[in-house]
Structures are given as structure tokens and as C-alpha cells.
């Protein structure tokens, strides 16, 4: 479990990039928090810098769009999903639970 | 329409084939491509492919499953040499003919070359073969590289060569590279990236001559008797030692095969802003198309035009037009440059993020209180917002 930031520092419509390896992007989509791998599965771009609309984020480089709930691309040029991760809020702090750690840690 | 032939099997051609099927065309689909390869992506050729980070397997634009779904006949490794509009056929170099009702022209462009014969060791960069050749020449240990032309491909190539540890000089004929694209102030900011990347930029001078030396060892097959480049002599008299020369002086649209076809050709295939040529059954997309007076040589145009072009082709008339906000990106010296919109010469420039002499900035171009374009260096996030605003404004919606 990784503390990310205070909830108030991630307002609706914003994203933050966590410098894990590989990096992870945490989004506040109209009040719902989501986390996915930050690097686009198409080429090399940071999805936390993309355009957030509803539950979709559009890649800032070639406009592939990913569903934050599933990590799946909804259009080309991306074909492969990105991993999703669990996010919780404890004491007003946003926490990230890495997908690979699920069940082992925490 | 029973048969549609897409000529050119690269980015725009593949997107056109996809659109044809997506828009319900269930007839015979033929794709003709001069290159022997299935469609591959060119932008990495001057970036990750050159530095070795991206292997050939990462370049594919489609995959096996999609190729099956498209149910197209791929005629690869063969050039179309003519279009007989009246006879409704595409003529191939090997003598075959493809009878067809509709045609999508997607023959792109090729690297412009220096006039006359050149010694070995002089490269251009457009195709996978050219990229392999250049990559091979750069793996033989540190050497002197001279890049002729300071445009985007020249700059990216210089950056990649520097990353590989070579001694790199860029020669640009204009007083400042990219000034026509970006305006002087921002072009200067981008030119400064060379210096920071340890690359010399020589401007305001052309190339007078390439000097070769006799290959001392047995010349490689195919280069028999041909000199190997040794130096580049500039028009101001300076002589730069050179083991590898890369010529990045622009691209020429591949339209020669259309001679005698009745189509209007002038630095590209002329078409309306719905990508429809003089003939409603022939559309043009990508780098080869001069749509609505503009020929753009950007990845994003090549992927966006096909949807509109195919709609019009299937309708038999221009029922839809492209409303692009031009966009391109370029990766150089570890930073990403992104540009969107249409800059005019009198536009004012406002730096809204970072500073020109810092590690990055966002510059917004404005005219009469409206944003016309934006340039970002290492500022993808705020750039994405401005690009979105330009898109909404273009669509006539209130900016978000
Ligand atoms: C090294 C490099 C880096 C680039 N980097 C960027 C970048 O960072 N950002 C960006 O926005 N854009 C970039 N581009 C531009 C982008 O790659 C092009 O805009 C895009 O490839 C255009 O696609 P196209 O299908 O129209 O043409 P092309 O990719 O040129 O493809 C045309 C195809 O048609 C074939 N052909 C030609 N004539 C015939 C014929 N008579 N019969 C049959 N086949 C024929 C050709 O062999 C070729 O395969 C780059 C280009 C290069 C070369
Ligand atoms: S890198 Fe994200 S769409 Fe290409």
C-alpha cells in the first residue's frame, strides 16, 4: 500500500503520477478514484497527462482511449490493456494498492 | 461498389482499409503496396528504432487477427504503375491489372535526395530498409555524423546519433531551422535543444560537395567502385569530416504513377476537403493528399483522413469534410515537442507554462484574442488541454 497524496490535492478531473516502477497514474474521475499503469500500452506516453472524460482517459500522444475501470483500450492505436490497481482513501489520504501485491501485502 | 483498391500499404492505407470494413463495405478489398512489408509505423524509425530501444517487432501497425478480419487481398512488394480511370483498373508493375470500382490513393511520400550521384555512407530515412542501413552504419563505433537539414526528422536523427555516442553536426541552409513552422522565437528555443544535447548546429549554409575516398578494402557488393563519404564541404568553404551523412531535406509525394490518369497533381494529389479528387470514385489520404489546399505530413492526419475519405467514396460524393486541428509531435534529446493548430505570421506568442530557456515550456499563439495554435516542449499535460480547446472551438462548441 502506497500513500499517494491528500484527497484534497486530487480534485475531480485531475490525475497524479506515482513514480513506482513502472509508474502508475491515479485519477479522480468526477469523485471516483481509479489507478492504472501510467505508460500507454501503445508507445511511450504518460496517461496521467492525458485527457480525462468520464471514465475514459485519452492518451496525449496518439489519442488511444482507456477505460479506467478495466484498463482496456476503447479505440486504436492501442490494442493491449493497461493494468488497473485498487485505490482507497484512509484518513483523507489516497492510497494505492499495486495489482501484483494484492493478497500478499496489506 | 464491388471492388475497392487501396494503393499504398502503410499508415493511411491500412486506416482506409479498416474504415472501409468499419463503414460496411463488404465487397472485394485489394491493398497494393510497393514495400514487401505489412504496414509498419515510421515515427519510431528516427527515434527508438535507431537507438536500438525499439526492435522491428514493435513497428507493426496491425496484427494477425485484424488482418484476418479485414479479409483483404494484400498485393505486397509490387508497385502500382498506373491508374486507368476509364477502364476502371489499377495497373501493376508486374503486368497484372486490378479491375476496380473505387480507389483510395495512399502512396505517401519518399525522402528527398541530393541531386546527382552520392558516395556510399550517405543515407536517407523513410523506409525500414533505409533505417536498417543507417542503424547498421551507426553501430560500428563512434564516428562523425553530419545531418543535412534541421527539420524534425533531421533533428530527431541527430538526437538519436548523439545518444549513441557519435560526434554530430547538423547543417541547415536557412538562418534558423523550423522558423516557417514555429516562428522565429520558438524555432530558436527548439534549435537550442541541439546545443544542450551536445550537437553542433550550423545554420545559413548549404552543402557544396560531398567528398569521398576510395574504399581501401575490397568494396562491399553493390558498392563496387563507389567512393565512401569522407567529408562534407559547405557552401561557406568549411569542410566537416564525415563517416556517415544523413540527408533530411524533406519528402516528395509519390504521384508519378498517376501520370496520364486525369487526376490533378501538384505537390500531392489535389482533392477537396473531403479527400475526394476530381473523380468521385477516387479519394486520396495521408502524406500524398493535398486536401483542401494543404498537404500535411503528419501521422495524425494519415489516421484521421481515411474515415472521411471512405465515407465520401462509399457515398459517391463529398458528404463529409475533415475539420482537422493539425497536430504533430517530435521526440528529441529526451524531450517531447508537440504542436497543434494553425499558426499565422502575425500571431502573438504567450508562454503560459515554464520558460523558453528552461527545461520546457508551453507557448500559445493568439490572434484577435483567440488561440490559434500551441507548442509544447516537455509540457504534455497543459498542451493536451489547449489542444482540446482548439478541437472544441473548431467543432463550433464552446471551449471546455
Ligand atoms: C523517420 C520518420 C519519422 C516520423 N516521425 C513523425 C512524428 O514524430 N510525428 C508525426 O506526426 N509524423 C511523423 N512522421 C510522418 C509519418 O510517418 C507520416 O505522416 C506517415 O507515415 C504518412 O503515412 P502514409 O500512409 O500517408 O504514407 P507513407 O507512410 O509514406 O506510405 C506510403 C506507402 O505507399 C507505398 N507506395 C508508394 N508508391 C506506391 C505505388 N505506386 N504503388 C504501391 N505502393 C506505393 C510506399 O512504398 C509506402 O509503403 C515521420 C516520418 C518518418 C519517415
Ligand atoms: S502512445 Fe498512447 S496512443 Fe500512442
CB-based contact, B329 to chain A, within 8 Å: yes
Least confident range from B181-185, B224-228, B255-259, B339-343: namely B224-228
Which residues of chain A are within 8 Å of residue B381 when distances are taken between CB atoms?
48-49, 60
Contact A60 B299 (CB under 8 A): no
Q: What is the mean pLDDT of chain B?
A: 95
Nearest CA to ligand 2 atom 1: A43
Q: What is the dihedral of CA B173, B179, B184, B188, to 10 degrees?
A: -70
In chain A, whose CA is at the least distance from the CA of B47? A44
The atom of ligand 2 lying closest to the CA of A59 is 2
Predicted local distance difference test score (pLDDT) of residue B278: 96
B299 lines ligand 1 (CB under 6 A): yes
Q: What is the C-alpha R_g of chain B?
A: 22
Predicted local distance difference test score (pLDDT) of residue B225: 65
For chain A, which residues score pLDDT lower than 50? 103-106
Q: Find out whether B311 and B23 touch, Cβ atoms under 8 Å.
A: yes
The residues, any chain, with a CB within 8 Å of residue B369's CB and separated by 6 or more, are none
The DSSP line for A11-80 is -TT-EEEE--SS-EEEEEETTEEEEEESB-SSSS-BGGGSEEETTEEE-TTT--EEETTT--BSSTT--S
Examine residue A105 and state whether it is found in any structural domain, yes or no: no
Contact A48 B381 (CB under 8 A): yes
With CA atoms as reference, report the closest residue to A75 among A54, A56, A91: A56
Predicted local distance difference test score (pLDDT) of residue A102: 52
| CATH number, position A63 | 2.102.10.10
In chain A, whose CA is at the least distance from the CA of B338? A61
Examine residue A47 and state whether it is found in any structural domain, yes or no: yes
| B327-332 and B335-341 beta bridge pairing | antiparallel
Examine residue A102 and state whether it is found in any structural domain, yes or no: no
Which among A42, A60, A77 is the top mutation candidate for probing chain B, defined by the most B β-carbons within 10 Å of its own β-carbon?
A60
CB pairs under 8 A between A and B: 28
Examine residue A33 and state whether it is found in any structural domain, yes or no: yes
| A51-53 and B361-367 beta bridge pairing | unpaired
A74 lines ligand 2 (CB under 6 A): no
Predicted local distance difference test score (pLDDT) of residue A105: 41
At which residue does the C-alpha cell 490533378 appear?
A: B264
Predicted local distance difference test score (pLDDT) of residue B399: 42
Pocket test for ligand 2, best of A41, A74, A76, A78 (most atoms within 8 A of CB): A78
Domain count, chain A: 1
Q: What is the C-alpha R_g of chain A?
A: 13
Examine residue A27 and state whether it is found in any structural domain, yes or no: yes
Examine residue A106 and state whether it is found in any structural domain, yes or no: no
Cell of B285: 489520404
Which among B51, B299, B380 is the top mutation candidate for probing chain A, defined by the most A β-carbons within 10 Å of its own β-carbon?
B380
Cis peptide bond N-terminal to A77, omega within 30: yes
Contact B380 A62 (CB under 8 A): no
Contact B44 A43 (CB under 8 A): yes
With CA atoms as reference, report the closest residue to B136 among B148, B156, B121, B147: B121
Does the pLDDT of residue B265 top 90, yes or no?
Answer: yes
pLDDT, average across residues B13-37: 98
Q: What is the ipTM of this complex?
A: 0.90
Residue A47 lies in domain:
2-97
Contact B380 A43 (CB under 8 A): no
pLDDT, average across residues B278-283: 97
Minimal C-alpha gap between B36 and chain A (Å):
22
Does the pLDDT of residue B97 top 50, yes or no?
Answer: yes
Examine residue A38 and state whether it is found in any structural domain, yes or no: yes
Chain segment B325-359, per-residue pLDDT in tens: 999 999 999 999 999 999 998 999 999 999 998 88
B33 lines ligand 1 (CB under 6 A): yes
Predicted local distance difference test score (pLDDT) of residue B226: 79
In chain B, whose CA is at the least distance from the CA of A13? B385
| B3-7 and B102-105 beta bridge pairing | parallel
Which residues of chain A are within 8 Å of residue B399 when distances are taken between CB atoms?
none
B12 lines ligand 1 (CB under 6 A): yes
Q: Separation of A77 CA from ligand 2 center, angstroms? A: 7
Examine residue A103 and state whether it is found in any structural domain, yes or no: no
A45 lines ligand 2 (CB under 6 A): yes
**C-alpha span between A69 and A32 (Å, rounded):** 10
**C-alpha span between A54 and B231 (Å, rounded):** 57
Question: B374 to each of B182, B254, B360, B392, how far by Cα in Å?
Answer: 9, 30, 13, 14
- Count of CB atoms within 10 A of residue A74's CB? 13
pLDDT, average across residues B259-286: 97
Contact A60 B48 (CB under 8 A): no
Nearest CA to ligand 1 atom 13: B43
In chain B, whose CA is at the least distance from the CA of A59? B384
DSSP conformational letter for B101:
S
pLDDT, average across residues B214-228: 65
Contact B384 A43 (CB under 8 A): no
Amino acid at each position: 500500500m502506497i500513500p499517494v497524496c491528500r484527497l484534497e490535492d486530487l480534485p475531480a478531473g485531475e490525475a497524479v503520477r506515482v513514480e513506482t516502477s513502472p509508474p502508475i497514474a491515479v485519477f479522480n474521475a468526477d469523485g471516483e478514484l481509479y489507478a492504472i499503469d501510467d505508460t500507454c500500452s501503445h508507445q511511450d506516453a504518460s496517461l496521467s497527462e492525458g485527457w480525462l472524460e468520464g471514465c475514459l482517459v485519452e492518451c496525449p500522444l496518439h489519442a488511444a482511449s482507456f477505460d479506467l475501470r478495466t484498463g482496456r483500450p476503447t479505440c486504436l492505436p492501442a490494442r493491449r490493456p493497461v493494468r488497473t490497481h485498487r485505490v482507497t482513501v484512509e484518513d483523507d489520504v489516497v492510497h494505492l494498492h499495486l495489482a501484483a501485491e494484492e493478497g500478499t501485502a496489506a | 461498389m464491388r471492388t475497392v483498391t487501396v494503393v499504398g500499404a502503410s499508415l493511411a492505407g491500412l486506416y482506409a482499409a479498416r474504415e472501409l470494413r468499419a463503414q460496411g463495405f463488404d465487397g472485394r478489398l485489394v491493398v497494393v503496396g510497393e514495400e514487401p512489408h505489412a504496414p509498419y509505423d515510421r515515427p519510431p524509425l528516427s527515434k527508438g528504432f535507431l537507438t536500438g530501444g525499439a526492435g522491428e517487432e514493435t513497428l507493426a501497425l496491425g496484427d494477425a487477427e485484424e488482418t484476418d478480419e479485414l479479409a483483404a487481398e494484400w498485393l505486397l512488394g509490387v508497385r502500382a504503375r498506373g491508374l486507368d480511370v476509364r477502364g476502371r483498373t489499377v495497373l501493376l508493375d508486374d503486368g497484372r491489372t486490378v479491375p476496380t470500382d473505387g480507389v483510395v490513393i495512399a502512396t505517401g511520400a519518399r525522402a528527398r535526395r541530393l541531386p546527382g550521384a552520392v558516395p556510399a555512407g550517405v543515407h536517407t530515412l523513410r523506409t525500414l530498409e533505409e533505417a536498417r542501413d543507417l542503424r547498421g552504419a551507426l553501430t560500428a563505433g563512434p564516428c562523425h555524423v553530419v545531418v543535412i537539414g534541421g527539420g524534425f526528422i533531421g533533428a530527431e536523427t541527430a538526437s538519436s546519433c548523439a545518444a549513441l555516442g557519435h560526434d554530430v553536426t547538423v547543417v541547415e541552409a536557412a538562418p534558423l531551422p523550423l522558423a516557417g513552422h514555429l516562428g522565429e522565437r520558438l524555432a530558436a528555443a527548439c534549435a537550442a535543444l541541439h546545443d544542450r544535447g551536445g550537437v553542433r548546429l550550423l545554420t545559413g549554409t548549404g552543402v557544396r560537395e560531398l567528398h569521398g575516398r576510395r574504399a581501401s578494402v575490397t568494396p562491399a557488393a553493390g558498392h563496387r567502385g563507389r567512393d565512401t563519404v569522407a567529408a562534407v564541404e559547405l557552401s561557406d568553404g568549411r569542410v566537416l569530416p564525415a563517416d556517415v551523412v544523413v540527408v533530411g531535406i524533406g519528402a516528395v509525394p509519390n504521384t508519378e504513377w498517376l501520370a496520364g490518369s486525369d487526376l490533378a497533381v501538384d505537390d500531392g494529389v489535389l482533392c477537396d476537403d473531403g479527400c475526394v479528387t476530381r473523380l468521385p470514385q477516387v479519394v486520396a489520404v495521408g502524406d500524398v493528399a493535398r486536401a483542401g489546399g494543404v498537404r500535411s505530413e503528419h501521422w495524425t492526419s494519415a489516421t484521421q483522413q481515411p474515415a472521411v475519405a471512405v465515407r465520401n467514396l462509399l457515398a459517391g460524393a463529398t458528404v463529409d469534410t475533415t475539420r482537422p486541428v493539425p497536430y504533430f509531435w517530435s521526440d528529441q534529446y529526451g524531450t517531447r515537442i508537440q504542436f497543434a493548430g494553425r499558426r499565422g505570421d502575425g500571431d502573438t506568442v504567450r508562454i503560459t507554462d515554464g520558460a523558453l530557456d528552461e527545461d520546457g515550456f508551453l507557448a500559445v499563439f493568439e490572434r484577435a484574442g483567440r488561440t490559434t495554435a500551441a507548442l509544447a516542449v516537455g509540457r504534455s499535460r497543459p498542451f493536451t488541454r489547449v489542444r482540446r480547446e482548439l478541437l472544441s472551438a473548431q467543432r463550433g462548441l464552446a471551449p471546455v
